[in-house]
Amino acid sequence: MERLPILSLITFSPLVGAVILFLWGNASARAVRWIALVASGVSFALSLAMLLRFDPGRAGMQFTESFEWLPELGIAYRLGVDGISAPLVGLTTLLTLIAVIASWDPIRHRVREYYITLLLLATGMLGVFVSLDLFLFYVFWEIVLIPMALIIGIWGSANRVYAAVKFFLYTLAGSLLMLVGIVALYQEYFQQTGIRTLDVLELAQGTYSSTFQFWTFLAFFLAFAIKVPMWPFHTWLPDAHVEAPTAGSVILAGVLLKMGGYGFLRFNLPLFPEATQRWAPAIVVLSVIAILYGALMALVQRDFKKLVAYSSVSHMGFVTLGIFALNQQGLSGAMVVMLSHGFVTSALFLLVGVLYERAHTRELAAFGGLARNMPIFAAFFGFFALASLGLPGLSGFVGEFLTLLGGFRSYRWAGVLGTVVVILAAWYMLRVYQRVALVRAPGEPPDPDDPELRMAITQGVPPVAGGGDTDQHTPDPRTFPDVTWREALTLAPLALLTLWIGVYPLPVLDMIELSVRAILAAVTGESM
């Protein structure tokens, strides 16, 4: 049947935009932005069409494309999506589009180069999610690395080079280990069957010895664990986020971290079922540590962006907990957490960016009382803060509850300890909300009807200034204008999706159900 190669179109339309920008050397900044918008918009629209035509009743790969590439080595151009990758493709194209819009005003130098890099990054990420050939996958995986490092290192803030190099080396170390794993797998399969192939689906049919599985699992695992990032491989993340420009953080948190979770689901579990079972308890331990540790770190951060970054570590802990709980609730929940985290944390980074544009600082102490002069900002921030702390009815809860339930079923203690985070998350999220949006600006006196003022008069207790002490001279938050319509445009779709997944997650859950079941069947060895 003659079909539109829709996955290739989705993947490469950003690249087409990048090539146009590359060739059109003297394009104006305005033209550059519009080209990037169109390229990412086309990719997004196509992915929507793909998601609408996706058949949730089928477990296998859909929209598959396959061309021989290097047949003597068993390398082919194989694309396809199932219920695991299709939602992530949609997430990627959406966040790319939002990143393009979010960079519209803030990126003012080297605009053309910036958008070339961003579009290249988009193609890389999409390629990761649609590749069904390990060689192709690896190429895309490495392609992602370079533009991301460039975005941090060139368009980042003060300490950007350190952060970019750290990010690059950390993840490169992981991917080299994966490369070793890939080659080993290729060899092993050839040894057993006499067939040279890098087809993921075919490799998953092979049976490998326990020892082999144990070590190869580890090689893949480390690459993905660094990407997620799991504790204790997480320290590149706060630095990378703090230095990255807003759109960089959006992509980093929204998509790049998901590549790790996706990797576990696509490679570790189906390829090495026995090793998965063996390693799972240890990984669950690390996940629970990440959940609690990330929340505790978020509790004490003074930098707004670092706080969100550490909360990411905590949320991604749910993903790995769910995956390695190895049951339906855990795996489905992990997928929902990945999507939800993509919406919510991206939105929180956008909100930090809104403030940074106005204050040129991310010190929490510099803010306070913004709900009065920035009511729309405060409403968005409140909404996403609640989603982040797992309020039922918003997307975070569905995923977190499912992963915790999955964890609880397999490892009772993990479910119990992981659930503690509902207290910590409420604490740090509401605390930062109060700091930024509520009470008063630093140094602002209490209102006439405030009991604090009465105490000051009758009992001589000086009112506590809003905010806290800050060394820098920062602009008065009372003068900040509310979000612009363009900023609102980046936030509103994420808010709608967060609400939708929270209230009616069924279409998404149904989409991932069969694929998850297939993975579980492969791991536990039960027939479907």
Partner 1 sequence: MERTVDWLVVIPLAPLLAAVINFLFGKWWIRHRAHWIAVPAVGVSFLTSIVAAWTVLSRHERLHQPLYTWIRAGEFHVPVELVADQLTVVMLLVVTGVSFLVHVYSIGYMHHDPGYYRFFAWLPLFVFSMVMLVLANNFLVLFVFWEAVGLCSYLLIGFWFRRRSAAEAAKKAFVVNRIGDFGFALGIMLLFTSLRTLDYHAVFEAIPQLSSGTVTAIALLLFTGAIGKSAQLPLFVWLPDAMEGPTPVSALIHAATMVTAGIFMVARAHPIFLASPIALWVVAVIGALTAFVAATIATTQFDIKRVVAYSTVSQLGYMALALGVGAWIPAMFHLLTHAFFKALLFLGSGAVMHAMHDELDMRRMGGLKRWMPLTYWTFVIGAAANAGIVPLAGFWSKDEILVGAWVGGAPLLALVGLVAAFFTALYMFRAVFLTFHGQPRFDPHELHPHDPPATMAVPLVILAIGAAVTGFLGVPPETGWIHHALEPVFESATHHKVSLSLTLGMALASTLVALAGLWTAHAAYVRGTISPAAVAERLGPLYRLAANGWYFDVFYQRSVVRPLDAAANWLWRTVDVGIIDGAVNGSARIVALTAQMWRRLQTGLVANYALAIALGTVLLVGIYLAFGSTLFR
Q: Contacts with partner 1 in 151-190 (CB under 8 A)?
A: 166, 169-170, 172, 176, 179-180, 183-184, 187-188
Rounded CA separation 234/289 (Å):
12
Q: How far apart, in Å, are the Cα atoms of 346 and each of 95, 298, 340, 353?
A: 8, 16, 10, 10
CB–CB of 369/439 below 8 Å?
Answer: yes
Binding string, residues 402-431; x marks residues near partner 1 by CB under 8 A? x-xx--xx-----xx--xx-xx--xx--xx
Residue among 65 and 363 whose Cβ is closer to partner 1: 363
Would you list the DSSP string of 248-280?
A: HHHHIIIIIHHHHHHHIIIIIHHH-HHHHHHHH
Residue among 215 and 356 whose Cβ is closer to partner 1: 215
- Residues 450-469 touching partner 1, rule: CB under 8 A, are 450-452, 464, 466
Say whether residue 398 binds partner 1 (CB under 8 A): yes
- Residues 466-495 touching partner 1, rule: CB under 8 A, are 466
Residue among 451 and 460 whose Cβ is closer to partner 1: 451
CB of 412 to partner 1, least distance (A): 8
In this chain, which of 513, 519, 522, 523 binds partner 1, going by CB under 8 A?
A: 513
- Residues 355-374 touching partner 1, rule: CB under 8 A, are 369, 371-372
CB–CB of 332/402 below 8 Å?
Answer: yes
At 62 the three-state DSSP class reads strand
Residues 6+ apart with CB under 8 A from 345: 253, 254, 308, 311, 312, 315, 388
CB–CB of 263/181 below 8 Å?
Answer: no
The closest of 376, 369, 354, 378 to 478, measured between CA atoms, is: 369
Q: Residue 67 pairs with which residues in a beta bridge?
A: 77
Q: Residue 75 pairs with which residues in a beta bridge?
A: 70
The closest of 185, 111, 190, 120 to 149, measured between CA atoms, is: 120
CB of 492 to partner 1, least distance (A): 12
Residue among 121 and 331 whose Cβ is closer to partner 1: 331
Rounded CA separation 459/453 (Å):
10
CB–CB of 468/436 below 8 Å?
Answer: no
Residue among 12 and 168 whose Cβ is closer to partner 1: 168
Binding string, residues 210-249; x marks residues near partner 1 by CB under 8 A? -----x----------------x-xxx-------------
The closest of 443, 244, 246, 445 to 358, measured between CA atoms, is: 246
DSSP E strands in 313-416: the ranges are: none
Q: Does a cis peptide bond (omega within 30 degrees of 0) precede residue 229?
A: yes
Rounded CA separation 134/128 (Å):
10
CB of 238 to partner 1, least distance (A): 8
- Residues 21-80 touching partner 1, rule: CB under 8 A, are none
- Residues 311-350 touching partner 1, rule: CB under 8 A, are 327-329, 332-333
At 45 the three-state DSSP class reads helix
CB of 515 to partner 1, least distance (A): 12
Q: How many CA atoms lie within 13 A of 251 on its CB side?
A: 31
- Residues 257-286 touching partner 1, rule: CB under 8 A, are none
- Residues 187-206 touching partner 1, rule: CB under 8 A, are 187-188, 191
Which helix (H) or strand (E) is 326 found in, with range? none
Which segment (12-20, 102-110, 256-264, 439-447) binds partner 1 by CB under 8 A? Answer: 439-447
The closest of 266, 235, 484 to 358, measured between CA atoms, is: 484
Which segment (28-36, 85-93, 278-286, 437-445) binds partner 1 by CB under 8 A? Answer: 437-445
CB of 187 to partner 1, least distance (A): 5
Residue among 93 and 498 whose Cβ is closer to partner 1: 498
Count of residues of this chain found to bind partner 1 when the rule CB under 8 A is applied: 75
In this chain, which of 509, 514, 522, 523 binds partner 1, going by CB under 8 A?
A: 509
Residue among 437 and 523 whose Cβ is closer to partner 1: 437
Say whether residue 113 binds partner 1 (CB under 8 A): no
Residue among 448 and 473 whose Cβ is closer to partner 1: 448
Residue among 263 and 415 whose Cβ is closer to partner 1: 415
Residues 6+ apart with CB under 8 A from 241: 249, 252, 253, 305, 306, 308, 309, 312, 349
In this chain, which of 281, 392, 443, 475 binds partner 1, going by CB under 8 A?
A: 392
| Alpha helix stretches (DSSP H) within 446-484 | 451-459
Residue among 35 and 203 whose Cβ is closer to partner 1: 203
Rounded CA separation 141/144 (Å):
5
CB of 20 to partner 1, least distance (A): 25
Q: Does a cis peptide bond (omega within 30 degrees of 0) precede residue 71?
A: no
Say whether residue 104 binds partner 1 (CB under 8 A): no
Residue among 73 and 423 whose Cβ is closer to partner 1: 423
Which segment (2-10, 58-66, 150-158, 294-302) binds partner 1 by CB under 8 A? Answer: 294-302
DSSP E strands in 384-522: the ranges are: none
The owner of tokens 């505790």 is 296
Rounded CA separation 355/359 (Å):
6
CB of 81 to partner 1, least distance (A): 20
CB of 303 to partner 1, least distance (A): 12
